[in-house]
Chain A
Amino acid sequence: MSGILFDAIFADNLALSFFLGICTFLAVSQKLSTAVGLGLALIAVQGVTVPLNALIYHALLAKGAWGWAGLPEVDLTHLRIIVFIGVIAAVVQVLEMALDRFVPVLHRGLGIFLPLITVNCAILGGSLFMVERRYDIAEAAIWGIGSGIGWALAIAALAAIRERLRYADMPEGLQGLGAAFIVTGLMSLGFTAFGGLAR
């Protein structure tokens, strides 16, 4: 279990070793405070959707899930992509309403990022990896939280670096996007080293 958590945060970091959610990762890492906000929102959504999707997958979609109804041959796994994206959109919507009602301060802080997260591939990718690696529901919950934390850690670190980098005197063409890619590459090297530490 702790192996899954460690892998999810460092060695299998969604952003740095699987390139998931990189569009948002590069676009919203200009300021540390917004990056931390987005990271927190992602941990929350990831922590809810992955175990929920695991539950739905095992109860409705997996091969043989309809055995109790006398339909042991039914295999609905091909529907997983469309079901997962629906669940994610719904969870984000509910989370937004709940936050607005109970924690309005947090809602105002995260406001614009929540809807953005629906189309963040880190979220859908987390759920698809959960299926591919055959996690059960407890493992899925840990994987969801861990991968969320890993992604948040990575974006916070990148934003902090980019805040300093603003004062650097770089070649013109490298300014902005180019430099962000190179820095992300260096961070990715660092996180790969953490992977060696786990084994």
Chain B
Amino acid sequence: MSARDRLVSPLIRDNPVTRQILGICSALAVTTSMTTALTMSAALVFVLCTAAALISAIRRHIPRAIRLILQITIIATLVILVDELLRAYAFALSERLSIFVGLIVTNCLVLGRAEAFAMHHPAGAAVLDGLGNALGYGLVLMVVAAIRELLGTGALFGRTVLPLAEEGGWFAPLRLMQLAPAAFFVLGLLVWAIRSARPEQVERPEHRLAPEAEP
């Protein structure tokens, strides 16, 4: 696999969220607005790349029996760093992200890439793989957030795009889009769209309707 493939393939084809079902946990909660989604994506890019580089650099010295504990410790340290930085320089934003920055520790995407890739590859490749996967995750986050914020409040990044009816415009916001169920619907439809475009990703049904019998 070339370096370019490693970076590009997790963006859509092997996207961590829609294909590998990794890291959905924290993905959905921060998608009520583009600002929170962007912050979360940036935090994940930093944690995933740095963790991949560190773990890959010491991979020959890690005893197999304690590798998971070691990986979690490294990841948790990086997450604490991000959390404290956000608290210091963007306190309002960190209040809105609530506990979800801390939950990057148990984001299966970070541990999954560390265990599956960084443990067996040199640092350069591991960072590229981490960057690709983090960007793929970020891409899904941004798409879901864009749909939910635009339809839910008529704004993008907090700036009004569709003039609201109550302020003299024409757009009546869908309040449902800001609630939890909408995140599931939007992501479900997104998965459907990606799989319609790339039929090789479709899961085979276990049962099929029998062809109509002649009466």
Contact = CB atoms under 8 A, between A and B. Distances in A.
B202 A19 contact: no
Given A80-B102, A82-B76, A121-B103, 19 more contacts: A19-B25, A21-B25, A23-B22, A23-B25, A27-B21, A81-B80, A81-B105, A119-B111, A120-B106, A121-B25, A125-B99, A128-B99, A171-B192, A173-B196, A174-B192, A175-B203, A177-B21, A185-B182, A188-B181
Interface string A120-148: 11011100110010000000000000000
19 contacts: A80-B102, A81-B79, A82-B77, A82-B80, A121-B103, A124-B102, A125-B99, A125-B103, A128-B99, A128-B102, A132-B99, A166-B205, A171-B192, A174-B188, A179-B188, A181-B187, A185-B181, A185-B188, A192-B179
Nearest to A171: B192
A177 B191 contact: yes
B36 interface: no
A129 B99 contact: yes
The size bracket of the interface on B is 35 or more
Contact of B84 (A78, A175, A188): A78
B182 A85 contact: no
Given A85-B106, A121-B107, A182 B24 contact: no
The size bracket of the interface on A is 35 or more
Given A23-B21, A119-B111, A178-B192, A81 B83 contact: yes
